[in-house]
Structure 1
Amino acid sequence: MPWVGTLEQGMRGLRIAALGPLRAWRGERQLDTGPAQQRAVLTSLTLRCGQVASADELVRDVWGAEPPASAHVAVRNHVSRLRTVLESDSAAPQALVSVGGGYALRLPDGALDVTQAERLHARAQAARSQGDLEPAVRILAEAEALWDGTPLTGVPGPYAQRQRDRLVEYRLLLVEARLTLELQLGGHTRVVGELLALADEHPLREGLRALQMLALYRCGRQADALAVYTAARRHLAAELGVDPGPELVRLHQRILEADPTLAPPSGAAAAPPAPGPAAGPDRPTWVPPAQAPPDVPDFTGRREEIRQVRDALAGAVRTDATAPVICVIHGMGGVGKTALAVHAAHAVREQFPDGQLYVDLRGTGRERANPYEVQELFLRSLGVLAGNVPSGREARTALYRSRMAGRRLLLLLDNAADTEQVSALLPGTAGSAALITSRTALMCLPATTRTALEPFSEPEALALLERMAGSGRCRQEQGTARDLVRACGLLPLAVRVVGARLVARPRWTLASLAERLSDRSQRLGELEAGSLAVESVFHLGYSTLDDAEARAFRLLAIPEVPDLSPAAAAAALHCDRREAEALLESLAHHGLLEPGEPGRYRYHDLLRLFARHRTLDTDPSATRQAVLSRVARFYLTGTSSAMRAERPYSRLPDTADPDGMPGAAAFSDALHAQEWVLHELPAMLAVAGQILHHPYRPVSAEDTRTLSGLLALLMPFTDFCLPWDAIHQLGHTLLRAADHHGERLATVFSCIAAGVACAWSGHHEEAAALAARAHETLDPADRVLAPRVVYTMGVVASVKPDGLDRAIGHYRSAHALACESGEPGMAAQCSVSLARAQLALDRPHQALEAARDALAHCPPGDNPVGIALAQRVLGDALAQLGRHEEAVTEYGTALAVCRAHGLHAQRAHTLLSLAAVLAAVGRPGQARTCAAEGGAALAQLGDPTGEERARAFINRLAAAGPSDPRGQHTAAGSDH
């Protein structure tokens, strides 16, 4: 610490440093100031400079307005421990004393670095007032040297933060005062580099900008001085929505007019030679370039990404490095690639003493930067005269690589289009590094590291909004702040636009802006502030697409689905799968689609809005409607293929999807069929909702047939915990459309779907009416639908508390119809449901008979789902009869079938049934394992009810202890 040697007490007394990490010494020994809160108490006492702080004040200083209940006790404990550390005799304190219910810390004269800095500042002001400028500069430099990093580093609490901000500002005041004196003494060449760095660190500080402009002007760099003003004006407008102050405006005008009073003072010393290579015919006096744009003052989040980039760049200067470091940061437009790269570049600036070179390669525009022209710019920045730059590409590249060799340079290549554009600009030797931003990952580039930049997390987005609009303003409307950043899709550029608009309109509430953003059709227009505009950034990428890519980008945004497969995209675009996959890859390459899981692609919310705006402006209504119809047909054929794979006996797919669709999904086994239906289910229902609830487009007869068949085919997949409320609404809308078009089959299908949904939702009377209407509408000659409609009547009746006997009658009728039509698999399904109804009525003998009949109607290998269900219900009947060991055997057989055929939902429910029986026979450990495994599988399948049932069973098992929780098997084994 340079200030220590000036203290009158030398190395004997107590002294404290706050202009950096909080530290304390007694004599030569550094003292342990304790944990963070204890240091916060010490800070509060130290910076009051001997004044008394009450216990309440200390509590507020450390914890703010909402301290914990134990805060006062904690303060007393911290003071007691500080006395032990600071005092020679803690029993008779001399420094940290109690005064009138509070505390005061009384330090020797000059024992605090803050007061030492204030005294030096006063001395410098006195010297300046007497005209002694050079001594004033030396004294101010001595005061600046007292800072050892950020003041009060690591000290928590609102008081420490206020003091930290004050001391940072105070140092800048000293720096500006010294630099002003330096310019008065004619030292413009000496300070111009320092001013460049300071102005980059503090771009909103107009005093530093003014000093930088004056120093550049006096160095003969009038154009650079004017460029500083332009950059300052843009930055103030973008960040604060204001224009430069009158002093900066007047200085700009005086530079334009070459005001003679701006000239250096007479007798100013000649500039010392700049560091670097010796001057010569092709090596003028050289100053290391510092071309990186100013750092973002409110840079937020991205801790892991910054760490990754900094760690990689640090490898460039390792002594054992054999190649240059190349870091690629890639992501969609507006995700913050440039901000991250610039922030990282400033963080590692000292590791590259030979400078930083920067260029915007304009890779998202049609006029991309020519890399060989960029080479010329960089060569001139590296000290080569314009006339000595070779015109040939090979010679120019050779000179470029030679000039970089042996130097430690950081190249910031922003907005690169592709590998070819950046290859000619990369350094050729170790010691230097290239930091590249691009919308694509530049996979052909031999990169050291690639950082894929995603939109913010919600906490990161909220943090940026708070930093821009003010934490108090955001915390008053916390829920609305979350709505705002979600409306921005967590895209950093969009959040920054919202923050800038709030800064420019201090009287606006967050709710007023959220209301404007709530209209999706106008949202992109609202996300604009000055030169910041989300839509403009998106348009840069869109404008580079060829016609086929642009059409795909527009049309694929029409279905509001979570993500798209190449097969679904092929259906939407009416092309083959390979062509669709190539288009998806190309859009991902341009940063207009996000690759998700393997073989899946998704839109960012705002990019989808942008694409939908383009399709409304470009594509005819009939084209847009056809996209949705084709996607719906794709999902119908995919679901019918899944049904054929899972239940090969079923003739329902032939009725619901008689024509099929070329290129739709096909499956060879039940496992992949179930996985496909489970994954695509949200998209199926979303597309159905778009078609059925469109405000302007009537539902066509073709769409009515497609969607009613799709819902009917989904009914057998009830193990997937279908969203019954949504299916209820869709079914009713379809029913109206079927009536309108006179589609008899669609009416039956709609009644089946809506009726089952009503039953599971608790609307029993409505469900019964829909099932009855399906039966009335049914063609008497339809031998495929007849057993299914009657079976549906049984399902509807079984859900009603007093309807089990009626359900049994319907199941028996459906069983007879299935046998007559030659569908043994359907007959087995009816017997399984019959057995369940008998179990619910406590008739295990009848249930056992029905379960065995179900097995008899399931040919081995032809109906794995039916066999698994029959084996499980057979086990349930045996368990209810008290034949537990036999039940365990049947459950084991059912589990083997489930494992062999990938029947995940059936396996989960069977595990719960097995768990109940294992508990009943005194094997609680095995029961707990089965229940936990079944519950985890149901959670993965999106079945919260089943998961909760498993959890409740485990809790009952734990509460029962070693006793037998008899009677749990029926509940645990029941289906949804």
Structure 2
Amino acid sequence: MRVAVLGPVRAWRGDTELELGAPQRRAVLGLLAVRANQVVARDELIDGIWGEDLPAQSVNALHVHVARLRAVLEPGRERRAPSRTLLATQAGYQLTLASGQLDTEVFAERLAAARASLAAGDLAGAAGQFDVALRLWQGTALAGIPGPLAEIVRTRLSEQRLAAAEEHVDVILALGRHSEAVQRLVELVAGHPLRERFRAQLMLALYLSGRQAEALAAFADARRVLAGELGIEPGTELRQLHARILAADPALDVAPDHEKQQTAQDGAAEHAQPPGGRPPAELPPGERPRPAPAQLPADVAAFTGRAAELAALDLPATPSPAVAITVVSGTAGVGKTALAVRWARQAAGLFPDGQLYVNLRGYDPGQPVPPADALAGFLRALGMAGQQIPPGDDERAAAYRSLLDGRRMLVLLDNAASVEQVRPLLPGCPSCLVLVTSRDSLAGLVARHGARRIDLDILPQSDALGLLRALIGNRVDVEPDAAAALAAQCARLPLALRVAAELAVDSQQSSLAELAGELADEQRRLDLLDAGGDARTAIGGVFSWSYRHLPAGAARTFRLAGLHPGSDFDPSAVAALTGVSATHARDHLVLLARAHLIHPVGAGRYGMHDLLRAYACRLAAEQDSEQGDAPHEALIRLYDYYLGAAAGAMDVLVPAEKHYRPPAPDRAPGTAVPRPAGTAEARAWLDAERATLVAVAAHAATRGAPSYSTRLSATLYRYLETGGHYADAVTVHGHASRAARLADDRAAEATALINLGIISWRQGRYPEAIGYQRQAMAVAAATGDRAAEAVALGNLGIVYERQGRYDEASDCQRQALALTREAGDTTGEARAIANLGSIAIRLADYGHAVGWYQQALARFRDGGDSNGLASALPDLGIAYLRLGQVEQAIDCFKQALALFREIGDRTGEAEALNGVGEIMMAASRPQEARAGHAAALTLASQTGDAYEQARAHAGLGAALTACGDVTVGKRHLVRALEVYAEIGAPESEAIRGRLAALERGQAHDPGDLVPR
């Protein structure tokens, strides 16, 4: 017997369909079937079938339906014999079905088989299983069955069906069957017009079928339907896809399949997965919709008043053709940020593409945030990999405006110092709104950019008292005169009122009158008090009043915490500043947060308002210098801490290069330096503290401690490079270069120049990379630093090789090899030998290449250099491949991928994955080749490695062409040609030849696009 519920309820015995009778009888069978082999209570069945429209004798009616079903299902059963199919119990009824007798069970099994095929990399098998599963559906589940229970089951099964349909289409797209996908999706969209995923798939399928105009029209139809039915705009996925189709983004040429893309089936291809074990996607980041940026800070507690100002911030009724800008200006502590954040959070729904936020620290005692750094943060939030962020300020601003174009986003620029700091951060499109807070009126924004300005005044008396009431309770009403005096002494400034209120909460035994009198005495004592009633006087008085109530240890922690150069800090850093234990530092920070002198910004991390930071710095200069604990000494302890911790992390990550890094600080930083237990923990610490380390490098360079800037640069270079943190690397190494020149430290200058050159090489800026390495060589030669000269020569040779200048590259590597041997640098010697092997591959001298690499590998293994070993193995694999030794090649790539993932080298992993693709292509296995190159493209796009991106596009072009998808394959080849030509790589000639052959309809050599 078989029972079907995925459509009208039906049953068969063999090939004969059974006559089930009335709808209610079908309902009984259907509801029992979806709970097969379980007892369903009579009351549940009755309610599920009839709901509130119960017949007079519902129990008897149910019994009759069950009896007649038994007669149909078991016609040969003797009259009083117990049923073996439809059982009656005291609790209810149970339909007994064996495996495979119910279509929902078969549907689930086929789905599981389809997903297993995906996990195994069998796209065609997955498509077949999805097709079988979906063909089981003959209409709406439990069609025609009334009642609430049936509706619940119907909804659940329908969602499973639609999810399976989405996955099926993803697989069809991944197989290149774009026209078939269009046909399926037209029906799916018509049946489910509000399901945005189907509309996105239809747009993509049309685009991949060469029907770009229809793809754009599909978006317009989606917008019309969603606005008309629901009054909403299309979601993020649809809008991002629309923008990418408009831009003819080459990355769209291979469709995503949302976590189920093909992976390699065996050999090296089973390793062709990005970190975390996910199957590769054949798109760079951005195809999978990123969550919209939501960077707004938390709303302030007990926000009071400001109704008129909030209303004034609302969008004008008539949209402007230019970007809308509003400036909230006012004195320090008046609540500009609180007002802006409150309005921004209330209005967030008007900006579905997200909200960007940056604290520009315009009046911070340290350095304000440069526009370039703010732009880098915004670009990352908008989906640009940190490694792809352009180095120049103008380039970053242009990329930022391009990414914002057409999006409805809110940009909150907090605490700006000047128009010059704000102007590069302005979008170029009217769909965005910019909200700026500043103590300055920023008249230039009003005059030149048409900004609206809202001047924020102190709180009205009633709102000031209301804020105090919200913070300290009914004591305000018990002592109204004292509360009014306290508000006046705080100049009705929200920041001062909050600090004063916290002290009042901690002083429950004192009356408000006593506290107000104490504050009056403190304000009279302050030297900065003047007769003009400057609001800053009130703030200083409140700060001083609150500060004097701190225990001595917490007070000292407050003073020295203001010196920290980062935007936030943790207890370990504060322990280093103060010289106390991390436990005591943590206790002090909790106390300071309770007093509103610092504020939490995350798990175990704290920040400080710029006014409080300035106040703390002034106190440190006045008091700690007098006590012999100069702020400079505290900063040196902090620099020692970060340098020591960074060195410890790098010793775990790259132990073989320890001799290249500067030694750890000679003296203890005053607190225990974290010692990571493994590479994952080391990288996690570096990732968490990266922004602070960048800030410390800049701070030390300008605070009389340049050696810390140069040593941090030399310590972090490999982490910044292999992690793809190129924007941060440029900042750190740039500060180090300038600091070294100021200190006349030629060795440090050479190292910083070398590292700047490496980042330029990674980003495909070869002329710039050559310039840096030549400068480094000149500096090293002038000082007799043979080791640095060898490193620079080796790096110069790598760039020459990438440009196709093989004779010059070979000369550089041979000179580097001689210098490293002279210096006894076995790590450098191994790298020079490996680089000579790479050049031999370029020259098709594969036998010698294998020899060079075997020498290099032996030295890397002897020295425990996992990074060097991992970097050499892919090239050796290519040499074996060209010699026809496929198994040895596969083994090399297996080892390389495992090592790269272990040490977290994502740039190397992309290189190895491209090698996997090339091996699979040479073995005439284009589907596996496609998987390897797809994973490589994802990683190379994330790391910003232009060369490996081009290589991945070239491999995808070859693989797709071999699979018969010539149109999409050509698009990838064109993109490869563009990137290779842009960076000046010789592979562009091979790509041109391949494209010309395709135009002539000629077949191709599977290895003709292998770049080495």
Higher-Rg member (1/2): 1
TM score, norm. by length of structure 1: 0.44
Larger RCO, structures 1/2 (Cα 8 Å, 6+ apart): 2
TM score, norm. by length of structure 2: 0.42
